[in-house]
Amino acid sequence: MALKIDTFSNQSGGNAFYKAVTHPLVAGKARNLVAHLQKAGPVAIYDPGNHLSSFAEFFPLTDVDIAGLFVQDVDQIGRLFGNHAAQPVTLMKDCACKSVLVASFDAVKLVDHVRHLMPANAPWYSLDALRLPDDMLTDKQRYLATINFANNFAFFRDGGGHHTRVVTANYWSTYGGKDPRAWCYLMDDKGEKLAEWMEPLPPAGASVVFDSAEIRTRFKLPEFIGQLFIHVVGAAGHDVVKYALDTYGDDKKVLSCTHDANSWPSDQYAGLPAPAEDEEVVLWIQNSHPGEIAAGEIGLNFMGNEAVARLNKPIAPYASYRLNVAELLPKARWPQQLEIQAGKHFVRPRYEVISKNGHTRMSHPNVERSDLKPDKKLGDLGELLGKLHIVPAPILPMDRFTSWALPTPMSTALTHLPVKAMMYDAKGNEVGEHKFGNLKRSDSIAINVNDLLKGKKLEGGYGHIELIYDFAAGHEVDGWLHSLFRYQDRQSGHSAETSFGAHVFNTVLTYKNEPQSYAGRAPGLSTRLFLRVGAQPYDTMCHLVYPASLPWHTTSDTLLILTSDKGQEVAKRSVRIACSGSLLWRVSEMFTHDEIKAAGTYPYVIIRDTTCRLFGYHGLVSGDSAFSLDHMFGF
């Protein structure tokens, strides 16, 4: 059974209560509270914020003698919790109880309102017993302010020649954050604490780096695979910890990059690729919660097939489990795609592909939404919004790389997917088109872009692909178009892959918060992307795409700003990208050796454009041995 919890709403945003009761520092306090209530019964429970059920999903109250459940909102009267029906709080004074639990934070004010309704001589308890220390709160006046829980998980490994590096910048201080710092909590594969520390963050705009090898040395740790939980105190502007995650190895064949974990768990994830004949695909299941995942809770199924193969093993709180896809679906083969039945037990997971040639890479599935239905209006908006939703992705230089595209359903309500691919060279010239037709949910059709463009010359030798809806093939569309893109280096044998969803790009007209903006309301018509620059011996590449749902400015007016690891501008370059075109470049070619050296160990580049919204992909290059690729983020 999936956890019955509220986590994230696309309308109202994140639920801070969920983060407050699943924080790694809270579990011990919550279990102590429940144990105390077991001895303090019978207990009357006052639940003014409707938080009780969510709390009990992680910390069951089955052994607590509950005398009655009371609520403030009249619409909640009659709501069931176990075999108790909620009563109006005005009746609580007649409850035969020995104590009262106020199932809320910041409970003193709530108790002041109902103190005269509480049974005489009955002590009261609240969830304030679970509070984080005051020095970990950004807003000390309102505990459930979302900014108090600016945190995220990161896959973190150091062992067997494999390492990980989390890279971001102190963007909170650029929004006015005062002296931010990061509380870090490292857990091993069993969910046990390996290290805990508070790390002051550098000045505004400076690089923030957590490297597994450095941390392992600092704390004298054994080899580990697990999770790094990062909680930023003093945050402002964003209550999300965004980062790039590089996985690298002692062997040059180990290289990949991915990004932040999207810190809200989901019922399902999709876009997990089945292994090719010469591959092993491993799904890293990392429990995000203080409760055990019971055997049978997690499963895999072929997209469009309701038969679920279940993992019949429990996973401890905050533990990590290495699931070989072949254990559950031995006949799965690329380009088949798989659904992950996650039950809201973990944030967006990572998967790792191990090839028989020794190369490994890591990427992520995406959240499959259950709140969407086909939007019939989209088919009528072509004259106003042109192509509407676009999924843009690179076509890497065809003389060396093979590029693949695999459309991936990403909504539980979707039964068909009418889609086509349009291909452009670097100058924005259309060079090809492929119509997938009206794909069934169970279809897994990957196109080899090189084969489709065979015999055609691309200006610059590269370009990009855009997946868009094909209304000539069908009308079951929801604006949540996704695709997986895979790239194979025929010279080194290394591959990289990434997946992402569609947006409306570069139109001043808006529809349902599209074109999205990095900050503020739609339309998003400017660019601010973060490109971390890899430390030696890696070079850094970036592929910027200028997609447009309708014709926009003929060229972009883009600044590439090399920023030191101290947050200072070192150098900048101006480039122009044709509308519907792209630019593939390397940091080592765009900036001089002296400029890069002056930028420090972990510099980054800000891609800034006030005239249009670009979409970007970034990666590291390890000579002729390996490369990585993932889409970029902004803040």
Residue-wise pLDDT for 239-278, tens only, equals: 889 999 999 999 999 999 998 877 789 999 999 999 999 9
* 301 and 185, same domain (yes or no): yes
Domain assignment present for residue 147? The answer is yes
* 435 and 350, same domain (yes or no): no
Boundary (domain end) residue, out of 105, 130, 155? 130
The pair of structure tokens assigned to 313 is 């093993």
Q: Does 409 sit behind a cis peptide bond, omega within 30 degrees of 0 on the bond before it?
A: no
CA 30 – CA 353 distance, rounded (Å): 38
CA 258 – CA 279 distance, rounded (Å): 19
3-state secondary structure of 47: coil
* 491 and 445, same domain (yes or no): yes
Domain assignment present for residue 16? The answer is yes
Show Cβ contacts of residue 631 under 8 Å, excluding neighbours closer than 6 positions. 259, 498, 500, 615, 616, 617, 618
- How many Cα neighbours within 13 Å face the side chain of 164? 22
Beta bridge partners of 617: 543, 631
Mean pLDDT of successive 10-residue segments in the chain (635 residues)?
Answer: 74 78 96 96 95 95 96 95 96 95 96 93 95 95 94 96 96 93 98 97 96 98 98 92 95 94 89 97 97 97 97 98 98 98 95 96 94 93 95 97 97 96 97 98 97 93 98 95 97 96 96 88 95 94 98 98 97 98 98 97 97 97 95 88
What is the number of structural domains in the chain?
3
Q: What's the pLDDT score for residue 10?
A: 52
CA 600 – CA 267 distance, rounded (Å): 42
Show Cβ contacts of residue 598 under 8 Å, excluding neighbours closer than 6 positions. 564, 570
Report the side by side order of strands in the sheet with 558-563: 569-575, 558-563, 604-609, 527-532, 633-634
Burial-class residue 313 by CB neighbours within 10 Å (0-12, 13-18, 19+): middle
HEC readout, 207-224:
EEEEEHHHHHHHCCCCCE
Burial-class residue 140 by CB neighbours within 10 Å (0-12, 13-18, 19+): exposed
Q: What's the pLDDT score for residue 13?
A: 58
CA 101 – CA 44 distance, rounded (Å): 6
* 527 and 471, same domain (yes or no): yes
Domain assignment present for residue 3? The answer is no
- How many Cα neighbours within 13 Å face the side chain of 157? 22
Q: Report the DSSP pairing between strands 569-575 and 630-631.
A: unpaired
* 350 and 399, same domain (yes or no): no
Question: Which of 245, 267, 265 lies closest to 256, judged by CA?
Answer: 245
CA 174 – CA 152 distance, rounded (Å): 20
Q: Does 515 sit behind a cis peptide bond, omega within 30 degrees of 0 on the bond before it?
A: yes
* 106 and 167, same domain (yes or no): no
* 332 and 202, same domain (yes or no): yes
Element (H, E) at 269: strand 268-273
Instruction: Give the domain CATH number at 606.
Output: 2.60.290.11
The pair of structure tokens assigned to 426 is 């670097």
Residue 528: how many other CB atoms lie within 10 Å: 18
Question: Which of 325, 313, 251 lies closest to 287, judged by CA?
Answer: 313
* 463 and 598, same domain (yes or no): yes
* 99 and 215, same domain (yes or no): no
Element (H, E) at 219: none
CA angle 362, 536, 590 (to 5 degrees): 95
**Domain extent at residue 61:** 8-130
Element (H, E) at 567: none
The pair of structure tokens assigned to 280 is 């092993």
Domain assignment present for residue 303? The answer is yes
Domain assignment present for residue 583? The answer is yes
* 423 and 563, same domain (yes or no): yes
User: Are 257 and 618 in contact, with CB atoms under 8 Å apart?
Assistant: yes
DSSP 578: B
Domain assignment present for residue 55? The answer is yes
Report the side by side order of strands in the sheet with 299-302: 309-310, 299-302, 337-341, 268-273, 366-368
Q: Report the DSSP pairing between strands 66-71 and 87-88.
A: parallel
Boundary (domain end) residue, out of 95, 130, 165? 130
User: Are 580 and 428 in contact, with CB atoms under 8 Å apart?
Assistant: yes
Instruction: Give the domain CATH number at 88.
Output: 3.40.50
Residue type, 59: F
Domain assignment present for residue 32? The answer is yes
DSSP 588: H
* 517 and 473, same domain (yes or no): yes
Domain assignment present for residue 484? The answer is yes
Return the biggest CA–CA distance within the chain: 87
CA 595 – CA 571 distance, rounded (Å): 7
DSSP 119: P
CA 630 – CA 625 distance, rounded (Å): 18
Q: What's the pLDDT score for residue 120?
A: 87
The pair of structure tokens assigned to 84 is 């108790």
CA 261 – CA 342 distance, rounded (Å): 14
Q: What's the pLDDT score for residue 418?
A: 98
Boundary (domain end) residue, out of 113, 130, 147? 130
* 543 and 487, same domain (yes or no): yes
